[in-house]
Chain A
Amino acid sequence: MIKFNLFVLPFSFGLIYIVYSIISHYYKWIKALPAVDKVKLVTGLRTPSKILASLKEIFLESLIHRKLWKRNPLLGYMHMSFALGWFLLIVVGNLESRIYHGAYINAPYYPIFLKFFIHDRLVLFFEIFSVPAFFRFIMDFLLLFVLSGLVLAFIKRKKSRWFGMKTTTNHNLFDKVALTCLWLIFPLRLMAESYTAGYFNGGGGFLTQNLGHLLVLITPGPAVMIAYFFWWSYSLALGLFFIMMPYSRYMHIPSELLLIVFRHCGIQPRRWGSVFSDLEAHSCSRCGVCIDACQLNFAAGISDIQAVYLIRGQRDQYITEHIALTCMLCGRCQEACPVGIKIDSLRLIKRREIGSGQITDFSYLTQNHPGFADVVYFAGCMTHLTPSIHIAMEGIMKEAGINYLFADRNGSICCGRPLMLAGKDKQASELIEFNKTLIRQTRAKLLVTSCPICYKVFREEYNLPIRIQHHSQFILELVREGKIALQSQHRKVVYHDPCDLARGGGVYDAPRALLSKISDLIPSEKECADALCCGGSLGLMNASVQEKDMVTRNALESLLANKPDILATACPLCKKTFSKQSETEVRDIAELVYDAIPARVLLLK
Chain B
Amino acid sequence: MIDFGYTLTRDRQFDYDRGDLRYYRLVRSLEPSIDLCIGCGSCSATCSAAQFTNLNIRKLHTVIRRGDTTSIKAGLRKCMFCGKCQLVCPRGVNLRNLILALNRAIEQLG
Contacts and interface: CB of A to CB of B under 8 A. Distances in A.
A104 interface: no
B97 A381 contact: no
Contact of B96 (A414, A541, A577): A541
A382 B49 CA distance: 14
B31 to A, nearest CB: 7
A576 B87 CA distance: 8
Interface string A157-182: 00000000000000000000000000
Given A385-B87, A541-B97, A545-B94, A411 B80 contact: no
Interface string A542-577: 111110000000000000000000000000010011
Contact of B80 (A359, A362, A541, A546): A362
A544 B52 contact: no
Contacts of B53: 364
A431 interface: yes
A2 interface: no
Nearest to B52: A364
Q: Which of A325, A355, A360 has the largest count of B CB atoms less than 10 A from its CB?
A: A360
Contact of A418 (B31, B82, B93): B82
The residue in A413, A536, A573, A577 that gathers the most chain B C-beta atoms within 10 A of its C-beta is: A413
A424 interface: yes
A125 to B, nearest CB: 75
Nearest to A431: B80
A422 B99 CA distance: 11
Nearest to A424: B81
B81 A362 contact: no
Contacts of A357: 103, 107
Which of A355, A365, A381: most chain B Cβ within 10 A? Answer: A381
A419 B77 CA distance: 12
Interface residues of B, number: 27
B46 interface: yes
Among A365, A431, A545, which residue has the most Cβ atoms of chain B within 10 A?
A545
B84 interface: yes
Contact of B81 (A359, A385, A422): A422
A546 B52 contact: no
A167 to B, nearest CB: 26
B51 interface: yes
A528 interface: no
Category for how many chain A residues contact B: 35 or more
A357 B93 CA distance: 23
Contact of B48 (A360, A412, A573): A412
A328 to B, nearest CB: 13
B25 interface: no
A541 B99 CA distance: 10
Nearest to B36: A545
A460 interface: no
Most chain A beta-carbon neighbours within 10 Å: one of B33, B48, B74, B78 = B48
B79 interface: yes
A350 to B, nearest CB: 14
B96 to A, nearest CB: 6
Given A381-B84, A541-B96, A576-B87, A362 B78 contact: yes
B37 interface: no
A411 to B, nearest CB: 4
Contacts of A545: 33, 92-94
11 contacts: A325-B97, A357-B107, A361-B77, A364-B49, A382-B82, A411-B52, A412-B82, A418-B81, A418-B83, A422-B81, A544-B92
Given A358-B107, A412-B48, A414-B48, 13 more contacts: A358-B103, A360-B77, A360-B79, A381-B82, A382-B84, A382-B87, A418-B80, A422-B81, A541-B96, A541-B100, A545-B92, A546-B92, A577-B87
Interface of A: 325, 355, 357-362, 364-365, 381-382, 384-385, 410-414, 418-419, 422, 424, 431, 536, 538, 541-546, 573, 576-577
Interface of B: 31, 33, 46, 48-49, 51-53, 74, 77-84, 87-88, 92-94, 96-97, 100, 103, 107
